Structure 1
Amino acid sequence: MLSEQVELPIGEDTLSGDLVVPGAAGTVVLFAHGSGSSRHSPRNRAIAGHLQRSGLGTLLLDLLTRQEERADALSAAYRFDVPMLGRRLVTAVDWLGSQPATARLTVGLFGASTGAAAALRAAARRPERVRAVVSRGGRPDLAGASLGQVRAPVLMIVGGLDGTVLELNRQAAARLAAPHRIAVVAGAGHLFEELGALEEVAELTAAWFRELNGTGAGNAPG
């Protein structure tokens, strides 16, 4: 198993990430964190660990440089800049395709909160590389016109108690041309903090991406 901290060039700066690739992995999942979060998000790290145990590679990536993180902590200037975050993810997808350990792997995107919108924008721009997308408590509605351009199958996981976000996901799903599914975790809120909720999210996510190595991720809308 490959496990290392990586630095992705972004202009004159870098983005920090944690890359793990099990020996038999056929897919690497790139994580796009939500507003105000980072690659150290305990929820996303827990899900990444589950994916790794399922034989999937993961790249947990900070989408802001260290200087941007400091500025964002004071002003929230960057965390809602979905177009910029989407461009950063495209850079990361291209980087994965250039690295010996990941060039042969198919790519999945996992986005939480605003990171889901950024993931969908990146999927629309790299349809030949991104093969599936998962949104956790996401805001896919913020992807705008990119929703209709996504070709990869999309799984939207939403807590049953997260009513506003669930409705926004339903509205976004209606604009998707790609195969998609909304999975509602009963009794869960926005952060999936309830007993067993995050574990259900992790298993739904692993199952969606595991199918990349079979007949393709996901099923018809349902």
Structure 2
Amino acid sequence: MRTVDAERGKHEAGAAEVAEGEVLLPASGNSSGERLGGDLAGLDNRDGLVVFVHGSGSSRHSPRNRAVATGLNRAGFATLLMDLLTPTEHTSDERTGRLRFDVELLTNRVLGVLDWVSGRAELNTRGVGLFGASTGAAAALGAAARRPRAVRAVVSRGGRPDLAPERPEDVHTPTLLIVGGRDGEVLQLNENVARRIPAEQEVHRVPGATHLFEEEGALEQVGQAARAWFAHYLFEPSATSS
């Protein structure tokens, strides 16, 4: 696998080059110069790009997110799994547990990566969707609220949309909230938020599933629902596009 620095190489049109594999991403708000790790796959696929935003205490190596990403690659999508913390921040957060719940910071990290995507010729002609898990779903919704032109669809897996830094009324991006049918408290939170989102929205219950979707067949249902949502919304002209 290659590691590609986001700042290296420029196309004649002014957009930087990027290659499939490991990438280094901007860490908004970090003054140390450290970058975020990312894994980019499916560049030959032209059906849109899905950026994965992991939950608290996890990373881009989340096996559940990777399973969903693999399914999206097979269905024709490119995927970018990103870390939300730099290596130094991750080490500190393992001791304190503080940064993983700083949703404002995490939202800004997602916004920085959206800016990075927009500067890459291999990526910026595709419709972009966000897939957020747990607290990562809150950051994804916050980013979508702030950049409605940049994000065409959001999918949340077992998310905490109630923690988003923006109000649900500010989310004008089609949003699918996938929740385990036995994840009672989180299901109620998602239903409450969904009612307040003015854009197209849906709460998708996975029968018999708990918060981590560890039950047989549960994660496959998550992947199927996510693929259908992104397939529908990433290719339609955005209502906010000029």
Supply the AA of the counterpart residue of 1:206.
Answer: R
Aligned to 2:20: 3
Show CA shifts across 1:104-140 (max 9, x none).
1111000000000000000011111100000000000
User: What is the rounded CA distance, in whole Å, between the counterparts of 1:178 and 1:196 in structure 2?
Assistant: 29
Higher helix residue share: 1
Using the TM superposition, give the Cα deviation of residue 174 of structure 1 relative to its aligned residue in structure 2, in angstroms.
1.8
Kindly indicate whether the alpha-carbon contact (under 8 Å) linking 1:6 and 1:18 is maintained by their aligned counterparts in 2: yes
Supply the AA of the counterpart residue of 2:68.
Answer: I
User: What is the rounded CA distance, in whole Å, between the counterparts of 1:214 and 1:26 in structure 2?
Assistant: 7
Kindly indicate whether the alpha-carbon contact (under 8 Å) linking 2:51 and 2:130 is maintained by their aligned counterparts in 1: yes
Higher strand residue share: 1
State TM-score, norm by structure 2: 0.86
The sequence identity of aligned pairs, in percent, is: 51
User: What is the rounded CA distance, in whole Å, between the counterparts of 1:100 and 1:115 in structure 2?
Assistant: 26
User: What is the rounded CA distance, in whole Å, between the counterparts of 1:213 and 1:173 in structure 2?
Assistant: 20
In structure 1, stretches of 5+ residues that fail to align are 218-222
1:49-198 correspondence to structure 2 within 5 Å: 49-198=70-219
Q: Max radius of gyration: which structure?
A: 2
State TM-score, norm by structure 1: 0.93
Aligned residues, how many?
216
Using the TM superposition, give the Cα deviation of residue 144 of structure 1 relative to its aligned residue in structure 2, in angstroms.
4.5
Would you identify which runs of 4 or more consecutive aligned residues in structure 1 move more than 6 Å?
none
Secondary structure of 2:41's match?
strand
Kindly indicate whether the alpha-carbon contact (under 8 Å) linking 1:27 and 1:212 is maintained by their aligned counterparts in 2: no
Kindly indicate whether the alpha-carbon contact (under 8 Å) linking 2:153 and 2:234 is maintained by their aligned counterparts in 1: no
User: What is the rounded CA distance, in whole Å, between the counterparts of 2:67 and 2:139 in structure 1?
Assistant: 21
In structure 2, stretches of 5+ residues that fail to align are 1-18
